[in-house]
Chain A
Amino acid sequence: MAAPYDLNDDGVVVIIGTGAGGGVLANELAQKGIDVVSLEAGARHNPEDFINDEWASFSQLAWLDTRTTSGDWRVAKDFAGLPAWIVKSVGGTTQHWAGASLRFQEHEFRIKTEYGDVPGANLLDWPITLADLEPYYAKAEDKLGVTRTNGRAGLPGNNNYKVFEKGAKALGYKDVHTGRMAINSADYDGRPMCQQTGFCFQGCKWGAKWSAGYVEIPKGEATGKLEVREQCMALQVQHGSDGKVTGVLYADKDGNQHVQKARAVCVAGNAFESPRLLLNSASSMYPDGMANSSGQVGRNYMRHMTGSVYAVFEKPVRMWRGTTMAGIITDESRHDPSRGFVGGYEMETLSIGLPFMAAFLDPGAWGREFTSAMDGYENMAGMWLVGEDMPQEKNGVTLHPDIKDQFGLPVPNVHFDDHPNDIAMRNHAYKQGMAVYEAAGATRAFPTPPYPSTHNLGTNRMSEKARDGVVNKWGQTHDIENLFISDGSQFTTGAAENPTLTIVSLAIRQADHIAERMSQGTL
């Protein structure tokens, strides 16, 4: 049988979402000859469609459906209706991501053991190790064409990187380079090398950056085994009297509702929509939501310790020229409690354009203190700080008691309180980031607060024991054998590294597992 598939075809695997998790899983399964229907809430945007203008692109790609926020994190004050800067499109947030592709460190798979008791944190070791994931990391790096891995060259450093590198070396940092990036440093996989155009966040118009949207999905479709239904929003996962899932109720672009039958369902709608879907799928058999016997669905939300440092120099930097995030200092990513916190953080070059600088440099600020900073824009360098944050049971996604979406379903509320460890790490990172730029000659530096979250993790976490989390080491829910989680919500903990490479690696591994189970007749 080949795509397109009938709604009553109960032999298909239904995947919800086409981003780093769902898009990769869809292609991997299709390559193995497995019939796949992907439901994608967004529309298709190919490189030629991308807009290199920050606000116009934001309107084109961002997920702007109603979400509410609570908690003491500053995002809830500055961007109350926008907890995350993620994408609604075929390819999901891989259309927008910067491309940083880092493996987790060995100890980051077992931080409960490594860090010990951290008050207020709901720590847990992953049920897998770095050794389990290494073969899949290697496959993922080849799939994404990650620079500085498996013999591929690094990207050249742009102006923003050169300032960053000078400061890093002057400060005594040892491990600074242009990053391991899913952006081609040479032509690769039918896509061109990076042209240093900037606007990586707005979608790469050259296709030099890997995206599930225009790399994985077309390859899957070419097999004849993948049907992508665009602008189709999953509303409910349905189940039979035996408790196994039977299909997915979804609304198409015209608002008409359909049920696609399924042999198995893989949920990859991001760390907000995936738990929301499970909670909205509550039934008499599953009164607390699907796959939620642990009570952990929607909990333990992590968004990485983040912040930025921008700094002004005497002469122009023009940081916006070239790759947005091709620069990294990894010296602070180690676990070293002598710094006053557990876990570590990465420092990565970052630039945003003038319109977004106005919105993000110091949200709500006004007057000459702010505008004199903006007047220094041409002479600015910038970096992003990204580190491991603590899972806390109280942080997460719940269904809003009153506000409903266009389909009549409760919208998600995203609650986040910073853990004291997150705050201590951020303060350390601000200090070090400003020191880097001061060592390169900065005249003024700005410790810039977190943006709406781009790394959204942990709300259906992986655990060895069913009572501690939602899915097992394959991303299969503990409660329902033919229901899987395939996105960053399955992360047990967040590590210091940008999560996409790990999401992709887990998806490749999960595809192998699903195919094996099918061939054994156990799925």
Chain B
Amino acid sequence: MTKHASPRSMTRRQLLASGTACGAALVVGTGFVAHPGEAWAAEVTALKPETFATLVQMARDIYPHDRLGDRYYAAAVKAHDTEDSAEMIEAGVASLDTLAVGAGHPSYVETGWEIDRVALLRQIETTPFFQAVRGGLVVGLYNQKEVWPAFGYEGESFSQGGYLDRGFDDIDWL
């Protein structure tokens, strides 16, 4: 899963120097993708780091929540970084980049506006590649307990005795 410290104990400055800027926020290095702003990096084993960076952007474009950092999207798509799915994912990302180039952009992640990236995704939304990424995100993103506070969701309450004395009927604006 995503690590919240950079590999090889790199400082943010070293990381920026060693990698290639990729899209707005991610830096791609050998075997990893890093987010200097959020101070995390993910090791990538089966996929090309550039492919993984594209997946992270694609994940955000599929389920954009502006109050969630990229690390949650990276964690959600990390499950695709396996030998079994690498071929499909690499091919899918390559075709997405081809579509981007055809639309006059350098690549998918370097397509500046979300609306333009979404237009590219609409062209592939019935493909097994897109459906695998989108389907995995439904659980992979929203079932991370760490994202629940951003939505106000409190999760289980049994350990605190439920809400009988903690606000099950506290609505005050009706």
Contacts and interface: CB of A to CB of B under 8 A. Distances in A.
Nearest to B118: A367
A370 interface: yes
B153 A367 contact: no
Interface string B129-143: 000001000110111
Chain B interface size, as a band, is 35 or more
A197 interface: yes
B148 A157 contact: no
Given A199-B158, A320-B154, A371-B64, A355 B142 contact: yes
Nearest to B160: A197
Interface string A286-318: 000000000000000000000000000011111
Nearest to A368: B64
A162 interface: yes
Contacts of B158: 52, 197, 199, 205-206
A367 B156 CA distance: 28
Contacts of A197: 157-158, 161-164
A198 B170 contact: no
A321 B163 contact: yes
Interface string A73-117: 000000000000000000000000000000000000000000000
B116 to A, nearest CB: 13
B134 A321 contact: no
A353 interface: yes
A151 B129 CA distance: 58
B168 A354 contact: no
Contact of B169 (A159, A316, A371): A159
A156 B139 contact: no
Interface stretch (A247-255, A337-345, A374-382, A405-413): A374-382
B62 interface: yes
Interface residues of A, number: 44
A55 B151 contact: no
Interface in B60-103: 61-65, 67
Nearest to A355: B143
B155 A53 contact: yes
B167 A354 contact: no
Nearest to B144: A355
A166 B63 contact: no
Nearest to B156: A52
Interface in A40-79: 52-55
Nearest to A166: B174
Contacts of A377: 151-153
A315 B173 contact: yes
A419 B95 CA distance: 42
Contacts of B142: 354-355, 357-359, 374
Contact of B168 (A314, A322, A358, A374): A322
A122 interface: no
Contacts of B162: 195-198, 206, 322
Pairs A-B, 6 closest by C-beta atoms: A378-B152, A197-B162, A195-B162, A322-B168, A52-B156, A358-B142
19 contacts: A158-B169, A163-B171, A166-B174, A195-B162, A197-B162, A197-B163, A205-B158, A314-B173, A322-B168, A354-B151, A355-B139, A355-B142, A358-B138, A359-B142, A366-B134, A371-B63, A374-B151, A378-B153, A440-B174
Interface of A: 52-55, 156-159, 162-163, 166, 194-199, 205-206, 314-318, 320-322, 353-355, 357-359, 364, 366-368, 370-371, 374-375, 377-378, 440
Given A195-B164, A321-B166, A366-B125, 12 more contacts: A52-B157, A53-B155, A158-B169, A199-B157, A317-B171, A318-B167, A318-B171, A320-B153, A359-B142, A374-B65, A374-B142, A375-B67
